[in-house]
Structure 1
Amino acid sequence: MIFGVFFVFFCSSSAVPQQREEKQLEASVESLVSRVAHVKSALHSFIYKLENEYERLTWPSVLDNFALLSGQLNTINKLLKNEKTPSFRNQVIIPLLLSPDRDEDLAKLTEQRVPVFSHEIVPDYLRTKPDPEVEEQEKQLSAEAARIGPDVAQKQIQTLNKLCSNLLEKLNNPRDDRDAESAAIRQNKPSFNPADTNALVGAVAFGKGLSKCRPPGQVAAGHPGQGPMISGGPTLQQVTIGGGSSQQAGIGGPVAPQQQGQPGRRPGELG
């Protein structure tokens, strides 16, 4: 009788902490799912801005989105490191039912990303190690790192640290110092050539250095007996003859001068 009472008390006392751990685990999972949903919403919003509002998207807005995502991820890390949060590494997920048929509840729960829970999908979604391709890349990087000697690796580390130190120093400098340095650089490096400027002013104001040749097709004024060139071609020319009568020469042929004392003949008259 006493043994039976002790056994019942032991079972009930051991069941209470187990129930408490299950409730604590359930609450932690719900909180984690809620935090991940916030990160997902922020990522959706940021990706939408990058794809549809990139023309009017400013750099401060991009930094604000990155700051929001960083804060949400830090919150998730703090939640996982909290003492009240159970260690999820000790929890094992075992598939109880695998089926190649479509599961509407699973599709609704995963927003239509996982419509079936089959033998082909389970190894990818319940994987606790990286993908084989990622593991192969990690092996290649580890092999390349092993081939580099300690001296070469130390030199590369020093070079990288120097670059990072210079970058941090520039970022930590006040903005006024950077503006002063930029102004000094602009003053030391002129943005124009004085000789070219003087030549341009002389050409515009006084015509200095400009060519005096006339463009083809124009005839200087003051030459009697020669009219302007006809635009039909260089072999056509119109000649004006004194005395009130006009005569047009043949194409490309010379014009015979009119003899003094002879009146001009009309077309069709014989000499």
Structure 2
Amino acid sequence: MQKEEKQLEHTLESLIQRVQDIKNSIANLLVKLENEYNILQWPSVLDNFALLSGQLNTLGKLLRNEKVPPLRNSILLPIALSGDRDPELEKVTERRVIAFNADVVPHYLRTKPEPEVEERLQPVLNRASSLTPEAAQKQINAMNKMTSNIVDIIKSHQETMEKEANQKSSLSQTSSQADTNTLLSAVLTGKGFKSSGMRRTDMAQQQSNMQAQQQAAQQKQQGNAHGKVQSSIKTNIKQGSSTHPYQRN
């Protein structure tokens, strides 16, 4: 008996945690719908619905687990009713229930849907029960055919998108990042350009020669002005020796 109670307690803790996660997800979605409806994008809404769907599936798997005791065999009964404020109950229910009285019990311990929900559900149940097995099977076949067509359309679009993606990836590359970088360096910094004229040393030598010729021309003009031409060539004549190197004694 103690083992079953511990197992039930562990199951209830897991259920409370899963339900709390679902509650938080719903609260976040409602906050977005109320405060961010101007900038809210459809993919974000789909992500929230996908999260809720996954959490509900996890809760369903937990309830269908073999280790989970059948909760239908457990009965929840109010031990005591009180109209006084209960701080512990208020804390557990996040201030939704402040007192466990006769007005609260029918809503929180009900085993049937609320009257409004039950009224909306009853016509659907009556219509379903009035169908003959042949008509029900016919509607099931029509629904299966419709869903199969939708699946085929989705697969066809998926194959087309994958084919286009493969074609784009198989195209030969028409550009080179290295060549682009080289071109940018040449345009922005002049890297890689070679001068079409002479080298710097040749240009310096030619410039010096031109300066020397200009100086010589100036000296020539000055010499003509004084009546004497000064030669720009310096000579050093040495006096020859009086003795012959091969003179006989």
TM-score scaled by length of structure 1 = 0.52
Q: Deviations over 1:70-90 (max 9, x none)?
A: 221222122222222222111
Match of 1:85 in 2: 68
Q: Identical aligned pairs, as a percentage?
A: 51
Structure that is richer in helix per residue: 2
Match of 1:166 in 2: 149
Q: Which amino acid aligns with 2:151?
A: L
| Distance 1:151-1:121 versus aligned 2 partners, 3 A rule | same
Match of 1:22 in 2: 5
Aligned length: 163
Match of 1:104 in 2: 87
Match of 1:250 in 2: none
Match of 1:69 in 2: 52
Q: 1:120 aligns with which of 96, 103, 112?
A: 103
Report how far residue 43 of structure 1 moved. Answer: 1.4
Report how far residue 179 of structure 1 moved. Answer: 11
Report how far residue 100 of structure 1 moved. Answer: 2.2
3-state SS of the aligned residue for 1:174?
Answer: helix
Q: Which has the higher contact order (CA 8 A, sep 6+)?
A: 2
Q: Which amino acid aligns with 1:33?
A: I
Structure (1 or 2) with the larger CA radius of gyration: 2
Structure 2 regions of 5+ residues with no counterpart?
A: 164-249
Report how far residue 178 of structure 1 moved. Answer: 7.5
Q: 1:49 aligns with which of 21, 28, 32?
A: 32
TM-score scaled by length of structure 2 = 0.56
Match of 2:187 in 1: none
Q: Deviations over 1:71-128 (max 9, x none)?
A: 2122212222222222211111110111222222212211111122111221121111
The aligned runs of 1:129-140 (5 Å cut-off) are: 129-140=112-123
Q: Deviations over 1:114-158 (max 9, x none)?
A: 122111221121111222333333332233344556666555445
Across the aligned residues of Structure 1 and Structure 2, the Cα RMSD in angstroms comes to 2.7
Q: Deviations over 1:4-54 (max 9, x none)?
A: xxxxxxxxxxxxxx2222222212211211121111111111221222222
Structure 1 regions of 5+ residues with no counterpart?
A: 1-17, 181-271
Q: Which amino acid aligns with 1:169?
A: D
